[in-house]
Amino acid sequence: MGFGTGAAQPFRLIVTGGGTGGHTYPALTAVRALQARLSASGRALDVLWVGTAEGLEARVAAAEGIAFRTVATGKIRRSGNPLKLVSPQNVRDMGRVPLGAAQARTIVADFTPSVVFSTGGYVAVPVGLAARMCRRPLVVHEQTVRLGLANRALVRTAARVALSSEASLELLPDAVRSSAVVTGNPVRPAVLNGHAQKAVEALGLYGFDQRLPTVYVTGGAQGSVQINTLVAEVLPWLLERANVVHQCGPANVAALESVAAALPTELAGRYQLTGFVAGEVGDVLALADVVVSRSGAGTISELTALGKASVLIPLASAAGNEQAHNAAHLQAQGAAVALLGETDGERLREALGPLLDDPARRAQVADRARALGRPDAAERLVDVLLDAAG
């Protein structure tokens, strides 16, 4: 779809990547920033998103009015055992890659993009290969500290490699480092522009004690049973020290309502349980002094861009143990507390206690997080896209 108006030749962009929000939302934020930059100079943007029909990117593109095409792709199932990589499912899916590349080549040749922009995910591989075959510049963006499988396959063919972390530079092949730039991971403007008072009004947080810090607990859109269980274990202790906004996931509300009902009256007013935080997420983050959450790439980008002290509880099943690496990286920089491996309520207490009881300690961790943040990542990425299109 075309965005903007103008007599100048439209900038033509193919976006590929998706499967999860970690690949999809940074791409969408970059597209919006590129459209705004071009529109300011009177130039239009024509966008085509290439993804999979079942991936999140299909729904996001439809909601945004972005033209969408699909190609065949296959998921390579990771394993520490090389023999297991040659599983029937992997062999079948790897056989789909040539078909996907052929489909992608036709799409790229027909669309003639100014640049192809990949944010990773399995669908990015055939599209990235097609960019090379059609001699169109490819920009690869990596959201995590370590390179994902798809981006590892594409960095050698990319005109530019955009990274979210300085720590990723040393993981690149020597021949690729000269084309790499650290942009950061784009963060949605709605997250960056929150207002604490709006959260109070939207969620009715009038029972909160203004003298206490506020903790925002979130396990992502669906919530996290692990995080919910840990918080329930320490809830009375926690509410003696803080106000709590607990986004628990729509399916988990009933289980936690019984926990909330058992709270003493003087503590109950400091606990706000909600299944889902949608448009208010930027406002809730603005209100929060400490965040308890997973450590996916998008979450890390938001917490550092905002400069938030956090306790990170990685999702153990994340691909390549990526969330644990993200959390450990922030902890090593003094920018978060990471609960790695097996954890329980006592470990959560030990992690939260110093942040809640010592404002100076909390401010120090927040400052370290802010030092790693790149709130201008989307604009930096737009610079890279325009430069690559040249």
- What does the mean pLDDT of the chain come to? 92
Write out the E strands in the chain: 2-3, 11-16, 45-51, 67-70, 115-118, 138-142, 160-163, 180-182, 214-218, 243-247, 271-274, 290-293, 309-312, 337-338
> Looking at residues 253-266, what average pLDDT do you find?
95
> Looking at residues 174-199, what average pLDDT do you find?
95
Amino acid at 271: Y
> Looking at residues 216-240, what average pLDDT do you find?
95
CA 169, CA 80: separation in Å to the nearest integer? 24
> Percentage of the chain with pLDDT > 90?
82
- Fold matches, 2-186+376-389 and 189-372: yes
Domain 2-186+376-389 has CATH 3.30.1490.100: no
Q: With a threshold of 0.85, does the pTM exceed it? A: yes
* Tokens at 295, concatenated: 């450590």
**pLDDT tens for each residue of 78-96:** 555 555 545 666 555 656 7
Give pLDDT, residue 202: 95
Give pLDDT, residue 149: 87
Q: What number of H helices and E strands is found in the chain? A: 18, 14
Q: Which residue ranges make up each domain of the chain?
A: 2-186+376-389, 189-372
Please, what's the largest Cα pairwise distance for the chain?
A: 67
**pLDDT tens for each residue of 143-174:** 988 888 889 999 999 999 999 999 899 999 99
Q: For the chain, how far is it from start to end, CA to CA, in angstroms?
A: 22
User: Could you tell me the fold of the domain covering 189-372?
Assistant: Rossmann fold (3.40.50)
- Please give the backbone phi and psi of residue 72, each rounded to the nearest 5 degrees, phi first: -70, 140
Contact 119, 21 (CB under 8 A): no
Contact 74, 122 (CB under 8 A): yes
Contact 124, 50 (CB under 8 A): no
Give pLDDT, residue 76: 57
**pLDDT tens for each residue of 360-382:** 999 999 999 999 999 999 999 99
Contact 62, 68 (CB under 8 A): yes
